[in-house]
Amino acid sequence: MRDEIKDDIVLKRVVETLQELPPRNPALVARILAETAAAPVRLPWWRRFVLPLPAVAGLAAATLAIGVWFGSQRGGASADATAGLPGTSVATTPAAASGPGGAPAGAAMRPVGTDDEALMPVQFTIDHPEAKTVSVVGEFNDWNPEAAPLERDPSSGSWTTTIALAPGRHVYAFVVDGVLVADPRAPRAADDDFGRPGSVLLVKRP
């Protein structure tokens, strides 16, 4: 009972009444378990990784800078997100509005949207010279870390890939040496209610 109502006779009685639990409902439990028994267990890719906390902390402590640049007109949107970060990086994109700026996506990519929608090349770039592997994952590739690996530029240490995405809103993240990392330069996904980092990319129609 919260302090604000413990001395209120009426409300105290109301809350006590409302806090009474209904009896357990075996039929309902049986229905729920029967429904879910038919559903396959679909573990997301990160369940395959063992991510020791020190590794995550170490990665966070590193001067990691990742970013996606949404074309010239979207550059401002990422500025606030990088405040306080030693970021350098960035990346990419295409130019959803200003015309194709990159190569088509890899064959493994599954664009979101219908087949008749024009795909727009989106270039993702991160600046992380020490990383061994980097990929980008999102709803567009079922969060598969093997679908869109980034290639390292030996001269700059940045990693880049270009993929084709359908116009619309995409939620994505980077995987840096097995660690899922949201893009600090892009807006965070507000509907990320599973506690996983995610960023939002808007691809404009051509």
Partner 1 sequence: MSTPDPSLIARASRGDRQAFAELVELLHPRALRFAQRMLGDALDAEDAVQETFIRVWNALPRFREGAPFDPWFFKVLGNRCRTLLDRRRRQMTQTLETELPGAPQVAQPDYDWNEEVGRVLAQLPTDQREAFLMHHVEGLSYEEISEVTGAGLSALRMRVKRAMDTLRVQLAGVANA
Which residues of this protein are in contact with partner 1, per CB under 8 A? 2, 5, 8-11, 13-15, 17-25, 28-29, 31-33, 35-37, 39, 41-44, 47, 193-196
CB burial of residue 171 (10 Å; 0-12, 13-18, 19+):
buried
| Nearer residue to partner 1 within complex by CB, 142 or 151 | 142
Nearest distance from C-beta of residue 138 to partner 1, angstroms: 14
Q: Are 82 and 102 in contact (CB under 8 A)?
A: no
Residue closest to 144 by CA, chosen among 115, 173, 166 = 173
Q: Are 158 and 113 in contact (CB under 8 A)?
A: no
| Nearer residue to partner 1 within complex by CB, 6 or 169 | 6
Nearest distance from C-beta of residue 55 to partner 1, angstroms: 16
Nearest distance from C-beta of residue 137 to partner 1, angstroms: 13
Q: Which amino acid is at 97?
A: A
Nearest distance from C-beta of residue 18 to partner 1, angstroms: 5
| Nearer residue to partner 1 within complex by CB, 9 or 79 | 9
Quick one: DSSP state of residue 21? P
| Nearer residue to partner 1 within complex by CB, 28 or 79 | 28
Determine how β-strand 151-152 pairs with β-strand 199-203: unpaired
> Residue 17 — φ and ψ, nearest 5°?
-65, -45
Residue closest to 167 by CA, chosen among 123, 120, 124 = 120
Q: Are 129 and 155 in contact (CB under 8 A)?
A: no
| Nearer residue to partner 1 within complex by CB, 101 or 178 | 178
| Nearer residue to partner 1 within complex by CB, 53 or 107 | 53
Nearest distance from C-beta of residue 34 to partner 1, angstroms: 10
Nearest distance from C-beta of residue 144 to partner 1, angstroms: 14
Cα torsion through 69, 74, 78, 79, rounded to 10: 120
